[in-house]
Structure 1
Amino acid sequence: MNKIAEIYAKADSFASYARFYSARLSEVLENLDGKALTRAMETLEAARTNRKAIYIIGNGGSAALASHLVNDLVAGAYLEGRPAFRAFALSDNISTITALANDCGYENIFLHHLKVHLEPGDVVLAMSVSGNSPNILRALTYARSHGAATIGMCGFTGGKMAGLCDILIHAETTADEYGPVEDVFGILGHMLSGYLAMKQGKALNH
């Protein structure tokens, strides 16, 4: 049985479902590869120091999380007089995305952006629960062949994305755990942006 279905089946109330879900999320987080997390942090830090662009991509809920992470890097981690993140969520401009989807195919919406903007040494950070979204795979393939560092966040079994990333953060889950995987993406975003903000001397309280 898939994990979320199993949790639902054994819960006798929403409160117990919430407890089981939280415990499962903690389990997934604890099983993440610490070395991959560190390498991802160092790659983002180097991009900040060297004024390289960070392009973050995802579909659906992952697109929302990409936008959220850009907010946390560009605004939340900003400190006057210190190097700043140049981060962009490639799904944020709805008119451009819909034009590209209509004219070039949805599988090319991120690829087109990278063809226009990507420079060697930039970073492409991709979020995909399944690891198999065609537009993500095309973007990562292009990025790797044009001198960019590639970071992947994925769930389930990792999918095809695993072979296209210099750094892979894999939340190993069953096929119905979309929620926990996207929760992991959001938590990772807060971990990375918060740590890198404080590492540069910024207090997170307002």
Structure 2
Amino acid sequence: MYKAYIENYLKETIQIAGQISQEEIEKGALLLAAARDRGGRLFILGVGGSAANASHAVNDFRKIGGIESYAPTDNVSEFSARANDEGWHTTFSEWLKTSRLSERDIVLVLSVGGGNEKASGNIVEALKLAGERKAGIISIVSRDGGYAGQVSDACIRIPVIADERITPHAEGWQGIIWHLLVNAIA
């Protein structure tokens, strides 16, 4: 019943593997290793399914990669209080200000679209702050990369193979890429 769908999905996955930029992945690995070596921290930002991925990635980067790592969405009380009291756009940037984001640190964005004026404005505001503070920026995104793609030091873009499956491929590949990065620098 689902055989054709499964076959097609896996063919698309193979196509993505052949098109993804190994150079951008290596840039990301170099940035992460350098941040770890200088005592910097890793802040992982994601919304929706990417927030769940951020939480899992925090574990891996801390336990396997040896980098002090955090995801603002792991503290749902603070995250929702900021959204309620200060507005959605502030949820990440104000959290990063309290965490004293600095040039030693890295912000890793997990996002399908990378943020723009209409969606994931909290990611956009966080990246503006990261730029002001000269923190490194790595993104794992799809589509055109959005704002994250424009400002990242390493932008790992998941190619769009099928418009109707942008989100599942992007969020699935976030896991593949962060696992690759963690184990490359371990």
TM-score normalized with structure 1 length? 0.83
2:158 to 163, 171, 174: 171
Letter in 2 for 1:98: S
- Which segments of 5 or more consecutive residues in structure 2 lack a partner in the other structure? none
Residue of structure 2 in register with 1:186 after alignment: 175
CA distance in 2, matches of 1:156, 1:175: 9
Preserved contact between residue 61 and residue 69 of structure 2 (Cα < 8 Å): yes
* SS of the residue 1:151 aligns to: strand
Q: CA deviation at 1:15?
A: 2.2
CA distance in 1, matches of 2:154, 2:57: 18
The within-5 A match list for 1:54-203 is: 54-77=42-65, 84-117=66-99, 118-132=101-115, 133-173=120-160, 174-176=162-164, 177-197=166-186
1:42 to 12, 25, 30: 30
* SS of the residue 2:144 aligns to: coil
Cα-to-partner distance string for 1:73-96 (whole Å, 9 max, x where unaligned): 11234xxxxxx3111111100100
Query: Mean alpha-carbon deviation: is it higher for 152-161 or for 133-142?
Result: 152-161
Preserved contact between residue 58 and residue 71 of structure 2 (Cα < 8 Å): yes
- Aligned identity (percent) is 31
Q: CA deviation at 1:157?
A: 2.2
* SS of the residue 2:102 aligns to: coil
Instruction: Name the count of aligned residue pairs.
Output: 179
Cα-to-partner distance string for 1:110-138 (whole Å, 9 max, x where unaligned): 00111111122210011110122211111
Cα-to-partner distance string for 1:50-104 (whole Å, 9 max, x where unaligned): 1101100000000011111111111234xxxxxx311111110010001000011
CA distance in 2, matches of 1:91, 1:14: 35
For the aligned residue pairs, the C-alpha RMSD in angstroms reads: 1.3
Letter in 1 for 2:59: N
Letter in 2 for 1:112: E
* SS of the residue 2:73 aligns to: coil
